[in-house]
Structure 1
């Protein structure tokens, strides 16, 4: 199983590998000594790989420290040190678990176009494969297309969907979904929510209303909010996340479209700047191409 997963991850990260790790290896091969010039060039590669300035400086500081501690003299031995630093920065494996207990409610937030609905469909299929009973709530009532798209995915994943008409109150959809979840003894309820960031006040009110209903009607459920971001937007994804974190209590990130970008380094930036774990990464179009994020496997696949 892990072999297949790793191959997928490796293929999904091939663009980032070309733009980032291969450049690092080529550069290190040109140097005989570890000097300031080498550090500066490495720093430049990291920044241009969408790791971001702030995160790059942190990586460089930790790397210099590690090279000093391990008494590394040969530039070719920098790579293992860099891998260790990145794994450390990406954090522990425990954080990636999506659901620890049943029942659980997952609120999914994110702007339109980042792959929110698709991610919900894939997460549902993942739970279904794990023999969990899943229910979806179409609480992005702002767009009829969002409701229809979610219906398509619920059929693909073979899970039930609670939906109202376009323009109805999202909180009412969630309320109905909770009642259905309790009656059907559902393990996981996943709620799609509207992604209108330009109107933060409305979004904030909407989410707090939904949260109040969950707390009141489904207090026994473990609740978490997942933010879906599009990796191809690089550092913009980090900015988007910061804005969402102002309106929602985000517990985890789903990073889509990693296979379509050379900006995979943004994963490190997200973790470092936001201190929210990346829980799932999308490395392809298929229903099973949304993978649990494992720091070690990610770094290995990159190199």
Structure 2
């Protein structure tokens, strides 16, 4: 079992926290910027807050990490680098299948072709607004005889789709002046927040950054164990409390510990919640306020994870989460397989919030920085008859 530690509470302390290193103390590799012995660090944080020193005590008996959630992707190869990997993973999406069949018939350049394009876009969850904008633009240009054939129209559609996504294809930039740079992850149940955090941890570790994870999903028992498994896998410290603990308290203690260690990045998990649950949505605002008591600029990024298979309901989700927590970036997951994928265009058109990453597979390497050109090229056929 991975050891857990709990801070003794002083009368002014709201909750107890546990900081664990990602690997057992006797086998943990040295991690730059992260001491294997957390007690000295937490003693610094304790001195700053008036709490007593930490004594090793079990907080709760966590279930063993779930190998199917953390290790299954080992058997599956990562997607190929560059555009080929995107095309390989997105070729089975409803969007790609619809347009592949449409243009493989070498259609004539007429209104029927535009009607088929409109139907394909709506079927792929691009949305009425974005679809109307795209089709009407093509219709005007076709009447102005800008296209010599259907292949030219396909090229124009590609350019219009890329232009719709280009303004939101903005990678996440870690501000070196913010220590730590706090990333608060939000989203509805089952979108893959905890897994996304694990993959982000893998990415940041590969970049040589020091980081810490906060297990703020205290509602779902397996979520804490799952995040601890990702922490162990990546050699990253995880701050956790018991099940049903106050998520804001976990975030507060994690930020204190990360500041004491001089950690570069802190990624905080939160419980999945339906966007219609106003009480739970208000909790996100509380977490932000608590973080702001330690660092007025925290969290520097509110990253919302959206399931690519959700469809137009993703718009309602983002609208509510943005109102509650001020979303600053998006991660669209599960785009591989049978996801329609078109909702990305609807999100970009309506909100203009940067899309930081896209999930196109199970392996950590398959969480890609969002690339508008690679994404569009993966959805459209390369040419007529392709």
TM-score by length of 2: 0.72
2:116 is matched with 41
2:226 matches 1:149: yes
Q: 2 CA distance for matches of 1:217 and 1:189? A: 13
Give the alignment partner of residue 268 of structure 1, picking from 333, 345, 361. Answer: 345
2:308 is matched with 231
1:296 is matched with 373
1:240 is matched with 317
Cα contact 1:132–1:188 (8 A) shared by 2? yes
Gaps of 5+ in 2: 1-78, 381-386
Q: 1:30 to 1:199 in 2, by over 3 A?
A: closer
Q: Which moved more, 1:103-112 or 1:2-11?
A: 2-11
Q: 2 CA distance for matches of 1:24 and 1:107? A: 41
Q: Which moved more, 1:202-211 or 1:131-140?
A: 202-211
Structure 2 counterparts to residues 98-109 of structure 1, below 5 A:
98-101=173-176, 102-103=178-179, 104-109=181-186
Q: CA RMSD in A?
A: 2.2
Cα contact 2:168–2:353 (8 A) shared by 1? no
Give the alignment partner of residue 71 of structure 1, picking from 146, 157, 171. Answer: 146
Q: 2 CA distance for matches of 1:278 and 1:94? A: 5
Q: Which moved more, 1:194-203 or 1:289-298?
A: 194-203
2:130 matches 1:52: no
Cα contact 1:46–1:56 (8 A) shared by 2? yes
Give the alignment partner of residue 208 of structure 2, picking from 125, 131, 141. Answer: 131
Instruction: For residue 264 of structure 1, give the secondary structure of its aligned residue in structure 2.
Output: coil
Q: Which moved more, 1:113-122 or 1:89-98?
A: 89-98
Give the alignment partner of residue 249 of structure 2, picking from 147, 150, 172. Answer: 172
2:101 matches 1:23: yes
Instruction: For residue 296 of structure 2, give the secondary structure of its aligned residue in structure 1.
Output: coil
Which structure shows the higher helix fraction? 1
Structure 1 residue 24: Cα displacement: 3.6
Instruction: For residue 229 of structure 1, give the secondary structure of its aligned residue in structure 2.
Output: strand
Structure 1 residue 3: Cα displacement: 6.5
TM-score by length of 1: 0.91
Instruction: For residue 330 of structure 2, give the secondary structure of its aligned residue in structure 1.
Output: strand
Q: 1 CA distance for matches of 2:91 and 2:150? A: 24
Q: 1 CA distance for matches of 2:275 and 2:372? A: 33
Cα contact 2:360–2:366 (8 A) shared by 1? yes
Q: 2 CA distance for matches of 1:130 and 1:191? A: 19
Q: Deviations over 1:195-231 (max 9, x none)?
A: 2226632223311111112222023556111111111
2:256 matches 1:183: no
1:11 is matched with 88
Structure 1 residue 240: Cα displacement: 2.3
Gaps of 5+ in 1: none
Q: 1:238 to 1:24 in 2, by over 3 A?
A: farther
Q: 2 CA distance for matches of 1:221 and 1:73? A: 54
Q: 1:161 to 1:66 in 2, by over 3 A?
A: farther
Instruction: For residue 269 of structure 2, give the secondary structure of its aligned residue in structure 1.
Output: strand
2:240 is matched with 163
Q: 1:139 to 1:61 in 2, by over 3 A?
A: same
Structure 1 residue 119: Cα displacement: 0.3
Q: 1 CA distance for matches of 2:315 and 2:297? A: 32
2:357 is matched with 280
1:83 is matched with 158
Q: 2 CA distance for matches of 1:173 and 1:152? A: 18
